[in-house]
Amino acid sequence: MPGAAFTRLYQQPSTVLAIFRRMLTHLAKTFVMSMLFLSHPVAISDLDLWVRPGFRKEKDQAINLLERLRIFKPVANPGKPRSYALTSPFVESLQNALTGAGDHRSFGVPCNTPAKDKPTIEQLDIYARKQWDGILGYMVGSTEGITISAQASSVPESVKKLLRDGQLVTGKTKNPAITQDGFAFVLQDVNAQVWTILIYYLGAAPDMNMDEVEVLSFLFMLGSLELGQDYSKANLTATQVHMLDDLTDFGLIYQSSSASKRFYPTRLATTLTSDASALASSATFASSAGRSSAGLSSSTRAADEAQGFILVETNYRVYAYTSSPLQIAILQLFSRIYARYSNMVAGKITRESIRKAVSMGITADQIISFLNTHAHAQMKRNTPILPPTVVDQIKLWQIENERMKATPGFLISDFANADEYKRACQYARDIAVLAWANDDKRMFFVTRVEQVAAYLKKPKAVASAGSASASAAATPKA
């Protein structure tokens, strides 16, 4: 993203607060807060004093991150050590967000008149789950042997087009085929799924004549809103009003109609910039199961997608306490289901089921992450959560036919001597961009080159800079 876009983005306090909370490491946050009310730049030597000895790697990573996000800017001081200052739009907006100063409506405008049929938080949760389950059901239902027609029928055409444009599904609308990226998508936790969809939506903004910066800023604003509160549309731009209709299809927004003068963010929206679960747990749905106003089937109300419903034994048997067709379909992607009950299914992870999953593009890490995320509370008392034998075997089954992994990046070579090579290689390792190194040939491979290139230009670091060439290298798996 160009620097001008960051400048516009940082004019909104809600955006700056979201980036500060979600995208910065603890050390980067410490640097920002320590410099937030300073009127002068801070020398790099002073930043070193703020970090305990032995944590140079973490310090370099924090500075690298702050520079890439245009939060830190280097300040030239001839004859003095290199210094850093916070960029002015970021400083002003973060100060306003933390102190409540400034005349802005970056955190939404609550309605000052009562609504006639205001939905409860439970109803908003049910609505969000229904919409999101529909999207996942449309994708998973395209897998051979799995049918979730009731879920797929409710997905709007605009959402189906976005899934196709994002290469999560391919083919015709009525008979889609889930892709390798699609399988990876459905196995992610809900928060990651939501952001994946929103990134695709952001990429499609120019085609819909919407400004990308305004779209991203509005998404960050939604993450700062309060669940259950109704907000006015009166002060929204035409782009933001259009976004509300689109986000209603995703389940992030609830509106009684598109002509309504108020909107309600669901849990999918209010958790965009937090660590909280994007969907309520099953206990919430159980408490609202008797409410006829929800208008949903008992199977949907009993869905237990959020977390805590899978048990895995050391003999590879899997027990899932769910009646959700969607959850059962996802389990079928990598396990063999052999028994179904009213509120539970039993299955087993086998060599054949894992190899079938791998052939569809699903990785062992994705399966393990899914099982960890949705592990039953009883399993989460253990350390590690999953039996190590099961984790190791899933990985072994995957690598039976795989030996190489492609890593895009930059090859740096042609160093004048061994000392120059070692210093540059160590710097790449310290900022966590080193992917591979060959000490004998004095060459190494990095995933990002900007910081390394700047380091190589320093006379004291390397007398004669190496050569860098962009490529994608095949490196052995660990």
| Helix%, strand%, coil% for the chain, nearest 5 | 45, 15, 40
**Can you tell me the distance from the alpha carbon of 343 to that of 302, in angstroms, rounded to the nearest whole number?**
9
Q: Tokens in use for 47?
A: 């930043």
Quote the strand ranges of 123-248, DSSP E: 169-171, 176-178, 231-232
Note the pLDDT of residue 173: 63
Q: Which of 262, 297, 300, 310 is nearest to 280 (CA)?
A: 300
Residue 417's alpha-carbon distances to 133, 202, 297, 440, 442, in angstroms, are 58, 47, 71, 11, 8
Q: Tokens in use for 126?
A: 């049910």
**Can you tell me the distance from the alpha carbon of 413 to that of 430, in angstroms, rounded to the nearest whole number?**
18
**Can you tell me the distance from the alpha carbon of 121 to that of 127, in angstroms, rounded to the nearest whole number?**
10
Residue 344's alpha-carbon distances to 309, 337, 387, 438, in angstroms, are 9, 11, 21, 52
Residue 50's alpha-carbon distances to 28, 32, 86, 87, 253, in angstroms, are 11, 12, 17, 20, 43
Stated as kind and residue range, the H or E segment containing 398 is: helix 388-398
What are the phi and psi torsion angles at 71 (to 5°)? -95, -40
Stated as kind and residue range, the H or E segment containing 125 is: helix 121-140
Q: Which of 434, 440, 439, 442 is nearest to 475 (CA)?
A: 434
Q: Is the separation of the CB atoms in 227 and 121 below 8 Å?
A: yes
The reply to whether the predicted model has a pTM over 0.85 is no
Residue type at 104?
A: H
Measured between its terminal Cα atoms, the distance across the chain in Å is 33
Note the pLDDT of residue 302: 40
Long-range contacts (CB closer than 8 Å, 24 or more residues apart) made by 255-258: 256/117
Residue 40, CB-side half-sphere exposure with 13 Å CA sphere: 5
What count of other Cβ atoms lies within 10 Å of the Cβ of residue 256?
15
Burial of residue 378 (number of CB atoms within 10 Å: 0-12, 13-18, 19+)? exposed
Note the pLDDT of residue 273: 87
What count of other Cβ atoms lies within 10 Å of the Cβ of residue 260?
14
Q: Which of 85, 97, 98, 87 is nearest to 12 (CA)?
A: 97
Q: Identify the structural domains of the chain with CATH numbers, from first to last.
A: 3-99 (1.10.10.10), 121-270 (no CATH), 310-398 (no CATH), 405-476 (3.30.70.2610)
Note the pLDDT of residue 473: 45
Q: Tokens in use for 5?
A: 């876009």
Q: Kindly report the length of the chain.
A: 478
Note the pLDDT of residue 289: 40
Note the pLDDT of residue 295: 41
Q: Is the separation of the CB atoms in 176 and 164 below 8 Å?
A: yes
Residue 376's alpha-carbon distances to 104, 324, 381, 412, in angstroms, are 44, 16, 9, 47
Note the pLDDT of residue 462: 43
**Can you tell me the distance from the alpha carbon of 246 to that of 204, in angstroms, rounded to the nearest whole number?**
12
Per-residue pLDDT 10s for the chain (478 aa) are 677 889 999 999 999 999 999 899 999 999 999 999 998 999 998 999 999 888 889 999 999 999 999 999 999 877 777 899 999 999 999 999 998 877 667 888 899 888 888 999 999 999 999 999 899 988 887 665 555 555 555 788 889 999 999 999 987 766 788 888 898 899 888 899 999 999 999 999 999 999 999 999 999 999 999 999 999 999 899 999 999 999 999 999 999 988 899 999 999 999 998 877 767 654 344 444 444 334 444 434 344 445 589 999 999 999 999 988 888 999 999 999 999 999 999 999 999 999 999 888 889 999 999 999 899 999 999 999 999 999 999 999 998 877 667 789 999 999 989 999 999 999 999 998 999 999 999 999 999 998 898 888 876 544 444 444 444 444 444 3
For residue range 231-266, list pLDDT tens digits in order: 999 989 999 999 999 999 999 999 998 889 999 999
Give the CA angle between residues 107, 112, 113 to the nearest 5°. Answer: 140
For the stretch 230-240, what's the b/e string if a residue is b when 16 or more beta carbons lie within 10 angstroms of its beta carbon?
A: bbbbeebeeeb
